Every structure is written in structure tokens, then in C-alpha cells.
Amino acid sequence: MLEYQAAKDLLKDKTILVTGAGDGIGRAAALAYAEHGATVILLGKTVKKLEAVYDEIEQAGYPTPAIVPLDLKGATEQNYQDMAETIEQQFGHLDGLLHNASLLGVLGPFEHISMDSVKEVLQVNLVAEIMMTKALLPVMKKAPSASILFTSSSVGRQGRAFWGEYAISKFATEGMMQSLAHEYEGSNLRVNSINPGATRTKMRANAYPAENPQDLKTPEAIMTTYLYLMGDDAKGVTGQQFNAQ
């Protein structure tokens, strides 16, 4: 785990978009970013969950966030372009983008992979990230110092039996991170990936139903790396794979 202490105002005056901000790790990241001074754009599928995070941020007295309800499964390039335009109008630029929302898909033998399921996993975990990143790059290039953070997994770095659909999507995410980082080397934009490691969320419980969640770190306990990479202390750090634990 990274030895780092984020300053209270690390993200002051920054605007940061978090996907899957209503639950699990995305929710914790949205709250941590807001606590450190950022205006957070909460993007997700279930509006009720986003509203609950919005209320928590407001009640804590952090900068007022924004909500973008979007189902990554069905969103089109036009939806992302419209979102980029709205962000530019409201905030001028975007300082941070945390690609966090993902689907686990179905675990099982490769021979049994359902093409419907694999297409859905690749749409949410990969194609949506491509479209969103493409649409937001112009507005991120306008930021004085910008950070894109992709969420990987241990199976995004080493394949594992029965994890085909999800592992393929995470390997592709790592490839996108590296290609983008290389393309923007020497610019104001850094691009990195984080593997959160085993964390107490719904996705983890679905993947490992026999495990005791109490044995796992909470999302709040793994935020150090998420904060470090979003803030300007990580200026110049790009193209790297991080582990949050």
C-alpha cells in the first residue's frame, strides 16, 4: 500500500467525474474526492443511489456535486458528446476522470461463455470507457493538470481460469491506459490504472459468496492511491499500474 497522506485541500477547485458513483468503491471515491475539496460529477445507473451520495456530500458541507444518470450499457457516442458539452459549459474543463463502473459478468468455463453476457460486459467495462474517454479528452486537455484513472483487477494483469469475460475486459482496459498514457506523454494529462484488490462490495460478494466480507478491506480503507493519483502530487506519473492494497 502506498505511503501517502493527502492534504485536506488536495483537490480544491478540481472537477472530477466518477462512474459508478452510487455504490461500492465508486461511492467511497466520490466521497473522498469531495472531502478533499473537489466538485464531483456522480455518474451512474441507479438515480436513487446517486441521490443518496449527493445528500451525504451536501450534509458534510463539501462542494455541491452534480448528478449524471447514465446507463453505460445503452449510452451512445452522442450521449457522451452531450455530457462533455454540458461539463464544458458548467465547469470550463474537467480535471479528473475515474472509470470505476464495471460488471462482473458470468464466471465459468470458457466453453460456456454466453455471447450476450460477454457483449454486455465488454460494452460496460470497455466500449463505454472508450466512448467516454474520447468525448472527454478535449475538455480534459483544457485543465491545467488532468488525471484519468482506469480500474483494473488482479485478473486484468494475470488471466485466471473461469474469469474469461471479466479478465478480457480488464486486460483491454490496461491496454487502453498504456496507449493513452504513451500518446499524452509530456502533456498535462496523466493516465494510470488501479487494481483495488479484494474489497468489501456487492461485486466481491457475488464473485466469492462463501467469503466473510468482514475479512476484507472496506472501500473507504483503500482510498489513499485513489487520492494520490487524482491530485497534483502525482503530476508526471503516467502509464503505471497501481495496487490500492
**H-run or E-run covering 39:** strand 39-44
Question: Is residue 228 annotated as a catalytic residue, yes or no?
Answer: no
Q: Which stretch binds ligand NDP (CB under 6 A): 7-15, 78-86, 157-165, 198-206?
A: 198-206
At position 158, the amino acid (one-letter code) is Q
Asked if 20 touches ligand NDP (CB under 6 A), the answer is yes
Instruction: Considering only residues 67 through 126, tell me which ones interact with ligand NDP, judged by CB under 6 A.
Output: 71-73, 100-103, 124
CB-based contacts of 26, cutoff 8 Å, min separation 6: 18, 19, 20, 44, 98, 100, 101
22 touching ligand NDP, by CB under 6 A: yes
Residue of 43, 136, 57, 50 lying closest to 94 (CA atoms): 136
What is the smallest separation between the CB atom of 174 and ligand NDP, expressed in angstroms?
A: 12
Cβ 67 vs Cβ 57: under 8 Å: no
204 touching ligand NDP, by CB under 6 A: yes
Q: Which is nearer to ligand NDP, 193 or 238 (CB)?
A: 193
**Do 134 and 187 meet the contact criterion of CB atoms below 8 Å apart?**
no
196 in contact with ligand NDP (CB under 6 A): yes
User: How far, CA to CA in Å, does 107 sit from each of 114, 160, 217?
Assistant: 11, 11, 23
CA distances from 62 to 1, 11, 41, 77, 203 (A): 27, 11, 13, 32, 28
Decide if residue 151 touches ligand NDP (CB under 6 A): yes
Q: If binding is defined by CB under 6 A, does position 65 make contact with ligand NDP? A: no
From residue 153 to residue 182, the character string flagging contacts with ligand NDP as x (rule: CB under 6 A) and all else as - is: x-----------------------------
- Provide the residue type at 196 as one letter: P
**What residues make contact with ligand NDP under the rule CB under 6 A?**
20, 22-26, 44-46, 49, 71-73, 100-103, 124, 151, 153, 196, 198-199, 201-204
